[in-house]
Structure 1
Amino acid sequence: MKKTSFPALLCASALASTAIAGCGTADKPDVKPTASTAAQSVKDAGTVAWSPCTGLTGPDGKPAAPDPAVACGKLAVPLDYAKPDGAKIELALIRIKASGDRLGSLVFNFGGPGGDGVETMAIAARAFGSLGSRYDLVSFDPRGVGRSAPVKCGSIEKWLSMDPRSTAAEKAAKEFAATCAKRSGKLLPHVGTVDAARDLDEIRTALGERRLNYFGMSYGTHLGAVYATQHPKTVGRFVLDGALDPTVTFAERAVGQATGFRNAFEAFAADCVKQGCDLGASPAKVRKNVEAMVNRLKDKPLKVGERRLTDGLARIGVITPLYAKAAWPELEKAAAAAIKGDGAELLSFADAYTGRKPDGTYSTLMTSFVAINCVDSAERPSPAEMDKVERRTAKIFPILTSGGLGSVCAYWPAPGSDESKKIDATGSAPILVIGGKGDPATPYRWAPKLAAQLKTGVLVTYEGEGHGAYLSGSTCVTRLVDAYFLTGKNPGANATCPAA
């Protein structure tokens, strides 16, 4: 099966309203990244032992050749910040040295929660070429993710194939939570955004930076906002792109995203018909045909090699290319093929979204996503409450499954807290907050809300489609953001960029 190149990490923030997957690991939190990354030794807490990276993937999807400008390292941080002298975990980092006159370090979080920063930076660094000429580009796997003491729970294939509105969903959620408790119980209370933001300050210190320069995308906007709340005086040049409103409830998030993906699908359908569409002669027909295809898979999944394209996986496969307008032609092709009985391309999109690897294993994306979100909220909604959410979102956009996150958190073994929802960066340097009018995963209205909560937020509006503006192809957004990072030029309140 052809593997799609769609960047799954920027999809992760929409998982609140899609099928949620299962989990896996030892009872003791991992203190060593997997062997596939560089095998560095940690010196002392607060320092990073840098050495050449190994086992990374390049932009072409092949193993990356060693590069003297690229180094990987590990940083020891407390498992529990209330016990700073207690057990430690190790964060995996990557650094790509500035190619020109260096301004400092620029730290990235690409989204999730659960997105891998080390692998992603190795693949995506070229997209930040202008910034890489003046900054060391740095990223990391947040705690509980990838190579940084990952949350592990078990196989997620079966759960991913489910429609969370099915009668088996509640049982699956309970089993998932119980397995996570058994295998990652000691780690689970400490993977939230509040602790990850504390890790960011440890990274800043280890890099030798007086202030943190930071580029957060999708969930990374939440992480950056929490850091700015904790450490306003060490905020450097901050850009938060694809802004998340931390205060939304599970229900509000699901409804907002259902509306966003419905709008994105309608925009896709209209564009498809305008270009000449294999899915139907009108936008209404396109939607009807895709919905019918997904619904047929409930009873008759499509065989794809040794696997099956179920309705649950097809729903994920349909929403994945809605993240970027550039992927819309591939959505048309994949959906048309599935209607004709070939589900390979749609399954490939689902795999990209959920972090399924060619060998059939999964990255920690899905498990970490659930673990972090559940710890980041005191909400523990009942099945009845989530059923209401599911019914409401199904009316808004039937293709998108709903309620999965809240259904799992109802049984989560670690307590949740609303501390990460309290945002106030009073006293910090200006923070650019970018919202896209056509963003399906983080609806535009969340951006002005986050900017207002920060108190120091400067709102930038992107008029185009897709999740995240900087990587959308907009030269306006690129110039604005680059100017801010490279010169400190503030675009001023209510700056707007047209669609690309």
Structure 2
Amino acid sequence: MIRRPRAAVALVTAALLLLTGCVSPPTRWAGPISGRPGASASGSTAPGQVNWTPCPEISERKLPNITFECTTLKVPQDWAAPNDGKTFDLSLVRARAKGQNNKIGSLLINPGGPGGSGVEMATYLAAALPTDVLFRFDIVGFDPRGVGRSSPVECFTDADLDANFGADPDPQSQADFDALVGLTGRMARSCGDKYGDTLRLFSTEQAARDMDAIRIAVGDEKLSYLGYSYGTLLGATYAQLFPKNIRALVLDGAVDPTQSSVASSEGQAKGFERAFDNFTTWCKSNGTRCPISSDPRGLVTQAINNARGNAVAGAGGRKATAGWVFTAVIASLYTEQSWESMAKAMDNLRKGNPAGIFELADSYAERDASGKYSNLFDANLAVNCADDDKSVTVEEARRLQGEWRQKYPLFGASLALNLVCAQWPGKRDPYPKGKAEGAPPIVVVGTKGDPATPYEQTPALANMLGTGVVLTWEGEGHTAYPQTRCINQAVNSYLIDLKVPAAGASCPAR
């Protein structure tokens, strides 16, 4: 799921999973510009002219057959004015397997978010991708502009993020709603006060143009790319801007660029309701692993209600408020492998122990044990709000909150409350929405049980691009590659040999 203003590869690690897409804090959802004068990446860096230096410390795990090298690439802040002397620094990592042969080039990756670190993603994928791919490609990860190590956007305090994640996901009284509007408005103003007119420069189109600068810098004639969740939107934008510069694009966990932010939020509300129903079915069939199997939905709803007036306190007095409980539920639905953890966390919560709730929620929020946050959600909001030229108003959000509460009882009200973008001070820079004329076939992967980027968006993205080919996984969770042999074989054949999956290709859950 795209992390939207309130807020993966599932089998790699839980931390990686939570980078590939999300709603925004405290879980508020997740005309075409085909080419602007002076917006070409050509000439930004001579082909292959970046200096890579060893950086084994970039990965916490020691991978004996993988070497890591890092570099920094300067790109124009505004691709519409590339020669004005203002630049951002992009942080890149290259993971290279020993024993490569018949090398094709680099595989550029993006984990989604927006706000997820491609540098961190590359270190995980270096251990998780099939060896057939590792032997043919360098894995190149980058933190997009504004993210992590790349001229990061930093405008939210830890206290405001705590308050936002911990806030009631469905504030019904006018006083409670107004308090949330006040909090999110203060957060929006803090970004405007610090960054002013430059906020629009963190848009998806600007980042897509950065990708072509990276392609040139690493010396690839054409781009091979693997994008997850929001990374599919980034890849689709690249395909429209630079269709003839593409070798192969895999877009996994598709985002439909033609949807409005309201439609996207409602799609996520449907997707999470569906995922929770799937969790309920699993739970009732696995009672020994699911201690809330008697009534999962009722018990989760009750836990959120109880937290409104009687939040359980954990270590150090931190309280598991309704917002934190809700965030833990959202986090656990990204992958089937987290369902058992969520069930046990809910069971322990009703016994007075919120530790499991905090563990799930903090992993999702990128909050460490000392209460410090990464800049994931600062960047997430900067990108989402810059992209969205038709944000809801506060009044519209309040109306949708009531309507969606009835339609999507557990998730609808919260996903209606896109209150930061409703008050965003920055100018907007919407991404293009159209055909990728002249592009080769692009593989668009969709998971039937995906809550964050519901499967319905997969054919929509493929159809919009015009050259998209759908590959379906009948599984659960957010994104599919590299999770099963069937999916791996199809994606590997495309990446390595450019063999496109057959029309209607589908892989079983396991």
Q: By the TM > 0.5 criterion, same fold?
A: yes
Q: 2:321 aligns with which of 306, 310, 315?
A: 310
Instruction: Name the CA shift for 1:5/1:137 in 2 (closer, same or farther; >3 Å).
Output: closer
TM-score, length basis structure 2 = 0.87
**Which aligned pairs between 1:264-279 and structure 2 lie closer than 5 A?**
264-276=275-287, 278-279=290-291
**C-alpha spacing 1:273/1:11, structure 2 compared with 1 (3 Å):** farther
Which one of 466, 475, 482 corresponds to residue 485 of structure 2? 475
- Tell me: CA distance 1:359–1:44, structure 2 relative to 1, closer, same or farther (3 Å): farther
Residue 15 of structure 1 aligns with which residue?
23
Residue 306 (structure 2) aligned to one of 290, 296, 310: 296
1:231 partnered with 2:259? no
Query: Match of 1:137?
Result: 139
Instruction: Measure how far apart 1:453 and its partner are.
Output: 0.4
> How much has 1:170 moved relative to structure 2?
0.5
User: In structure 2, what is the equivalent of residue 97 of structure 1?
Assistant: 96
2:201 to 177, 190, 199: 190
| TM-score scaled by length of structure 1 | 0.89
Alignment of 1:70-89 (within 5 A): 70-86=68-84, 87-89=86-88
Using the alignment, how far apart are the partners of 1:123 and 1:385 within structure 2? 41
Quote how far apart the aligned CAs of 1:279 are: 4.0
Matched residue SS, 1:185: helix
1:407: which partner in 2? Answer: 419
Partner-residue secondary structure (3-state), 1:298: helix
Change (3 A) 1:311 1:387: same
Taking a change above 3 Å as real, the CA distance of residues 132 and 496 of structure 1, as seen in their structure-2 partners, is: same
- Listed as ranges, the matches of 1:250-269 within 5 Å are 250-269=261-280
On the 8 A contact 2:28/2:414 being kept in 1, the answer is: no
Distance 2:168 2:476 in 1: 27
Cα 1:151–1:116 shift into 2, 3 Å = same
Contact conserved, 1:20 with 1:159, CA < 8 A, in 2?
Answer: no
1: CA distance between counterparts of 2:130 and 2:474? 24
1:341 to 352, 363, 382: 352
Aligned residue type for 1:91: L
RMSD: 2.4
Aligned pair count reads: 469
Local SS of the residue matching 1:216? strand
Q: What's 2:182 paired with?
A: 171
**Residue 10 (structure 1) shift:** 4.2
Task: Point out the more displaced range, 346-355 or 8-17.
Answer: 8-17
1:390 to 401, 416, 433: 401
Q: What is the match of residue 117 of structure 1? A: 118
Unaligned 5+ segments in structure 2 are: 1-11, 30-43, 172-176
Match of 1:15, SS? coil
Determine what percentage of the aligned residue pairs are the same residue: 37
Q: C-alpha distance in 2, partners of 1:410/1:354?
A: 21
Question: Secondary structure of the equivalent of 2:138?
Answer: strand
Higher mean displacement: 489-498 or 138-147? 489-498
SS, match of residue 435 in structure 1: strand
8 Å contact from structure 1 (residues 379, 416) kept in 2: no
| Partner Cα distance (1:326, 1:380) in 2 | 34
How far apart are 1:186 and its partner, in Å?
Answer: 4.8
Give the whole-Å Cα distance in 2 for the aligned partners of 1:261 and 1:270.
Answer: 14
Find out whether 1:180 has 2:182 as its counterpart.
Answer: no
Query: The residue matched to 1:160 in structure 2 has which SS?
Result: helix
CA contact (8 A) 1:214 1:237 kept: yes
- The correspondence of residues 415-430 of structure 1 with structure 2, limited to 5 A, is 415-418=427-430, 420-430=431-441
Structure 1 residues 199 and 281: CA distance shift in structure 2, 3 A: closer
Query: For 1:255 and 1:273, how far apart are their aligned partners in 2?
Result: 27
Going from structure 1 to structure 2, the CA distance change for 1:481 and 1:43 (only over 3 Å counts) comes to closer
Equivalent pair of 2:275/2:449 in contact (CA under 8 Å): yes
2:257 corresponds, among 246, 256, 260, to 246
**CA offset at residue 18 of structure 1?**
5.1
In the TM superposition, what whole-angstrom CA distance separates every residue of 1:65-104 from its partner, at most 9, and x where no partner exists? 8987110110000011122122011000000114321211
Partner of 1:493: 503
**Contact 1:8–1:353 under 8 Å retained in 2:** no
Deviations 1:387-438 (A, max 9, x none): 12222332344333524663111111111233x1413212111100011111
The alpha-carbon deviation at position 129 of structure 1 amounts to 3.5
